[in-house]
C-alpha cells in the first residue's frame, strides 16, 4: 500500500510538471507575430537595392569557339530592353493622375 501511494504521488507530480512545461507562452507568440508583420510591412514599403538590382538587364556571357550568344545579339537585347523600359515609363506616366500637364 505504501508503494502504491508513493507511485501515485510520483505520477501526479510528473503530470503536473508536464502540463506546466508543455504550454507555450501565448503573449510571446502574439508579440513575435506582431513584430514579424511589422517587419514584413516595412520591407514591402521601401524598395531595396536587391529589388532594384533584380530589375537590371542581365545578359548571358558566352565565350568560346562555339559561342551561341554574340556581342551583336547582346547589343540588340540591350537596345530592346531600353526601349521597353522607356515605353513602360511612358505608359506609367500617362496612367498616373498627375501625368497630364
| Position 60 in a domain | yes
Does the pLDDT of residue 91 top 60, yes or no? Answer: yes
- pLDDT confidence tier of residue 50, bands split at 50, 70 and 90: low
> What range does the domain containing 47 cover?
26-95
CA dihedral 71, 75, 78, 80 (to 10 degrees): -130
Does the pLDDT of residue 93 top 90, yes or no? Answer: no
**Quick one: pLDDT at residue 55?**
66
| Position 6 in a domain | no
* CA–CA separation, 10 and 18 (whole Å): 12
Does the pLDDT of residue 89 top 90, yes or no? Answer: no
| Position 84 in a domain | yes
Q: What is the mean pLDDT of the chain?
A: 79
| C-alpha 49 chain-centroid distance | 14
| Position 71 in a domain | yes
Does the pLDDT of residue 5 top 80, yes or no? Answer: yes
- pLDDT confidence tier of residue 36, bands split at 50, 70 and 90: very high
C-alpha cell, 41 = 510591412
Amino acid at each position: 500500500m505504501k508503494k502504491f501511494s508513493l507511485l501515485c504521488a510520483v505520477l501526479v507530480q510528473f503530470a503536473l510538471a508536464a502540463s506546466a512545461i508543455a504550454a507555450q507562452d501565448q503573449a510571446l507568440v502574439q508579440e513575435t507575430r506582431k513584430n514579424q508583420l511589422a517587419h514584413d510591412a516595412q520591407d514591402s514599403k521601401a524598395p531595396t537595392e536587391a529589388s532594384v538590382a533584380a530589375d537590371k538587364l542581365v545578359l548571358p556571357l558566352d565565350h568560346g569557339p562555339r559561342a551561341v550568344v554574340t556581342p551583336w545579339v547582346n547589343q540588340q537585347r540591350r537596345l530592346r530592353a531600353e526601349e521597353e523600359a522607356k515605353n513602360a515609363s511612358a505608359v506609367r506616366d500617362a496612367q498616373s493622375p498627375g501625368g497630364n500637364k
